[in-house]
Structure 1
Amino acid sequence: MRLEPDYFPAQLTLGNALREAGRFHDAEPCYRVALAHDPALPEALNNLGAVLFDLGRPDESIQTLRTAVSQRPDYADAHFNLAASLLLAGQFDEGWREYEWRWKQAKKKPHLRGFSQPLWGGEDIGDRVLLLHAEQGLGDTLQFVRFVPAIAAGRRVVLEVQRALLPLLAPLLAEVPGLQSIVALGDPLPPFDLHCPLLSLPRALGTTLETIPREVPYLRADPQRVAAWRQRVGQLDGLRVGLVWAGNQTMSGDRRRSISLDRFSELADLPGISFVSLQKGPAASQSPPTGLFLYDWTDDLHDFGETAALIEALDLIIGVDTAVVHLAGALGRPVWLLNRFDRCWRWLLNRDDSPWYPTLRQFRQPQPGDWSSVLKDVRAELQKSNLTRSSVE
């Protein structure tokens, strides 16, 4: 840019690099400089719309992304970013429709199933069999499986989920009329006539912000497993708090949502609290900071059914945006979400609760990367003199 100030493609590339680094405020001017050279450039409009989403300005993002798709109607990435901004703003009706553009994104095409059976759009299916299938992460499946009981009522339904979730979700077969089988992703599927990805269910059902099924718990752990964990954690003193600090490293944006365990030094030396690890994967090997003792039984957590049982035995779950947080919410357990500044659309804007999980409370970064403020706020809440096992709910 020093050599050729009018070379606006460099502004776009710099903006992308700054955004990837979490420097959203610095990225915005780069895109605006590029647009000053060409106000109708679809790539610059899309990238500006995306960073406006990151900055928590969905109204501006929506306007910018509408311009992008008007310039290039088949621009799948811009449609998808428009969906995220609409959903963040609570405009679910249009948001769910735009969200279907995800299947036309280049990064999603490898995940297309190629079913010959038609996609279900909410119409009456008669006696035909409907396959509902997982498409994204474990947390997404746990969040959107809430729709299965209502859909299976009066219909014939097959549910396909990630193998790790089978022990947790298997009891639904006995509890949900119309649910004929639950199959692990990758295993042979029984015959079916229609299909629908789990994250397309809100569009098919016409779900609005007001009609999200919010009854919890909609998942339950095995009572015998819960009893065994309650006996084990019952020997711990004070409030029993589960911690999870990192997600799947292969997921987009994981670097911004996950934190290292040593960041929890803000919670060290708190009296009357016993911390229990719920962390699996490579991050589980991290050592806790000085002054924070962490009970670690994660070697015994062989599946999500076992994790659910431990969660039900605890008083409070504190974690970053991972499947464990969704699991705690689905179980109706008190859960505090440590949320990054550029939150996912599902956590909405300017609120510390969640319409998806009535027992969830958000603690969000005031600025990108500022985990210290988040954990200081958590410490202050944990220090409240009236904090008891009942008050966290």
Structure 2
Amino acid sequence: MKDPVQLAQMARAAAQRMDWASAQHLMLEALQLAPDAPALHLNYGNILKQLGRYDEARVAYEQALYWQPNWADAQYNLGNLALVQHDFIAATEHYRATLDANPKHIEAHYNLATLLTNLGQFAPAHQHFAAALALNPQHTDALHNLGRLYRRENRHDLARRYYQLALASNPEHALSQYSLGTLDLYEGNWLSGWAGYEKRWAALHKPYPQTALPRWSGEAVSGNAKLLVIAEQGFGDILQFSRFFPSLLQHFSEVSVLIPAALLRLFTDSFDKKIQFITELDHHAGFSHHIPMMSVAFALNITEQTLSGQAYLRANSAAVQAWCDQLPKGFKVGLAWQGNPQQVDNRWRSIPSHCLTPLLAIDQVIWCNLQYRIAAPAQLRDDSTQWQDFADAAAYIQNLDLVISACTATVHLAGALGVPTILLCRHDADWRWQGERSDSPWYASIRILRQHALLDWATPISAAVQAVKARI
């Protein structure tokens, strides 16, 4: 007769080999022989989770709790499963249940603190970070994420301290190196900031671009060297760092840039014909070096003093004129209030549409929608359905008297075109907008209006209302 203990051991061995199908089959056999064994249900749930069978995994964990009520490990695994499924309320409940069963469960304290930080519940997040660090003062991730919590609260000295404590605990902790880099950039320490920003690949678990070409980091190269720039991150990042393309021609005889197709026409219209733009790359032959786009500032040793802030993108003149003929006469203001929902922190930078009411109540303004494929308030004129790419959006924006936007690609596009722009900025601003200042070294045409507290959109919108009325 088969032994459930032996089958479970065989299942664990299969799991260690990453043979999840065999592990699932063996653990199920074990459960059929010992259906009242909570540990088998827990391990079976872990295997199902690895297979992506989340609903079945949840049932397995709940079965473990049925046979062993108030089991901290089962509640903790249910919390982790809910987190994977982005059910943050359920995750919070399961982590709290874990701590009810075992108040010294370090990882439940840590996960709950991190989750509460993401939910904007800062006070209880502090309590659980304190509890985790009391149990393990060298918990590197807890030290880092407590620094991140302080960063969210704009308590930068404490943020820096805890990032440094995390690095003291683990000098190779890439996320802390990266976070210190972005904090340096936020505070205007440009060169150390770019160095820390180079840790983004390991910190964010992003794959480095696959290429056998040597990486260029700013060193002197031969006169016939040819550079491949590989775009990365979002459209806003690409628009922001495209300003450096002409500078690369001072180092390379040819520069080619791999970009999304939506930017091809705009960049082709805007930059020297010596810069080639491509949207697909079959092979890397013909290039001598490569660089990821967001590393160009590091290679060029960019500081505030080397940024002019002047416009560097150009909309097609014929397209600009076509929109000029089509749009009504009057003071035209474009609005963008929502960022990419795929961004982890999008909920904090995006503005609920009802908060726009004071702006839209201003008379003598033609309000224009700048959100592509997002339902707009009825007061906005919506021409976005006629856009095919960023070239079309640029030609449209070039006809506006003012752009008002949350931290989205629209801000970078308008700023790069030199169009007067108001950025409605979240309390814990992104590194590129720095702190306190109302201007930006990146774009001379941008004015920054900031929240005074988390989710305080009333303050910057009220200031924007006054700014619009002063320009009418």
Code of the aligned partner of 1:210? Q
SS state at 1:33 partner? helix
Residue 221 of structure 2 corresponds to 125
Residue 218 of structure 1 corresponds to 312
**Cα displacement string for residues 259-280 of structure 1 (whole angstroms, at most 9, x for unaligned residues):** 2323211223211211011111
**Cα displacement string for residues 342-383 of structure 1 (whole angstroms, at most 9, x for unaligned residues):** 211111011111111111111222111122232222122223
Contact 2:270 2:314 in 1 (8 A): no
SS state at 2:305 partner? coil
Residue 264 of structure 1 corresponds to 356
- Aligned-partner Cα distance in 2 for 1:114–1:77: 22
Contact 1:58 1:86 in 2 (8 A): no
User: 1:226-375, aligned counterparts within 5 Å?
Assistant: 226-233=320-327, 235-237=328-330, 239-281=331-373, 284-288=374-378, 293-375=379-461
CA change 1:348–1:106 in 2 (3 A) is closer
- Aligned-partner Cα distance in 2 for 1:313–1:231: 10
Contact 2:269 2:315 in 1 (8 A): no
The alpha-carbon deviation at position 171 of structure 1 amounts to 2.4
Code of the aligned partner of 1:219? L
- Aligned-partner Cα distance in 2 for 1:26–1:53: 16
Aligned residues: 372
**Cα displacement string for residues 100-135 of structure 1 (whole angstroms, at most 9, x for unaligned residues):** 1111235312xx222111110101121111111211
- Aligned-partner Cα distance in 1 for 2:239–2:280: 14
2:278 is the alignment partner of 1:183: yes
- Structure 1 window deviating more from structure 2 (41-50 vs 257-266): it is 257-266
Contact 1:89 1:348 in 2 (8 A): yes
Higher share in helix: 2
CA change 1:51–1:353 in 2 (3 A) is same
**Cα displacement string for residues 50-95 of structure 1 (whole angstroms, at most 9, x for unaligned residues):** 1122122223212211221121122122222222212111111111
The alpha-carbon deviation at position 154 of structure 1 amounts to 5.1
CA change 1:27–1:72 in 2 (3 A) is same
SS state at 2:217 partner? coil
**Cα displacement string for residues 171-208 of structure 1 (whole angstroms, at most 9, x for unaligned residues):** 245x26x42x2111566666211111111111111112
Contact 1:22 1:369 in 2 (8 A): no
- Aligned-partner Cα distance in 1 for 2:210–2:217: 17
Contact 1:23 1:368 in 2 (8 A): no
The alpha-carbon deviation at position 26 of structure 1 amounts to 4.2
CA change 1:377–1:24 in 2 (3 A) is farther
- Aligned-partner Cα distance in 1 for 2:270–2:439: 27
CA change 1:185–1:360 in 2 (3 A) is farther
SS state at 2:113 partner? helix
- Structure 1 window deviating more from structure 2 (343-352 vs 17-26): it is 17-26
Code of the aligned partner of 1:309? A
The sequence identity of aligned pairs, in percent, is 33
- Aligned-partner Cα distance in 2 for 1:154–1:301: 36
Q: Which has the larger radius of gyration?
A: 2
Code of the aligned partner of 2:111? T
Given candidates 236, 242, 250, the residue that maps to 1:153 is: 250
Contact 2:262 2:390 in 1 (8 A): yes
Residue 139 of structure 1 corresponds to 236
- Aligned-partner Cα distance in 2 for 1:365–1:215: 24
Residue 116 of structure 1 corresponds to 212
- Structure 1 window deviating more from structure 2 (326-335 vs 361-370): it is 361-370
- Aligned-partner Cα distance in 1 for 2:103–2:127: 14
Code of the aligned partner of 2:215? L
Dislocated runs of 4+, deviation >3 Å: 1-8, 185-190
The alpha-carbon deviation at position 236 of structure 1 amounts to 3.6
- What TM-score, normalized to structure 1? 0.89
Contact 1:183 1:189 in 2 (8 A): no
Residue 90 of structure 1 corresponds to 188
CA change 1:190–1:296 in 2 (3 A) is farther
- Aligned-partner Cα distance in 2 for 1:366–1:30: 26
SS state at 1:250 partner? coil
The alpha-carbon deviation at position 217 of structure 1 amounts to 1.2
SS state at 1:356 partner? coil
Residue 192 of structure 1 corresponds to 287
Contact 2:257 2:277 in 1 (8 A): yes
Q: Which runs of 5+ in 1 are unaligned?
A: 389-393
CA change 1:151–1:255 in 2 (3 A) is same
- Aligned-partner Cα distance in 2 for 1:97–1:124: 19
- Aligned-partner Cα distance in 2 for 1:130–1:81: 29
Residue 59 of structure 1 corresponds to 157
Across the aligned residues of Structure 1 and Structure 2, the Cα RMSD in angstroms comes to 1.9
Code of the aligned partner of 1:147? F
- Structure 1 window deviating more from structure 2 (295-304 vs 259-268): it is 259-268
- Structure 1 window deviating more from structure 2 (322-331 vs 59-68): it is 59-68
CA change 1:189–1:306 in 2 (3 A) is farther
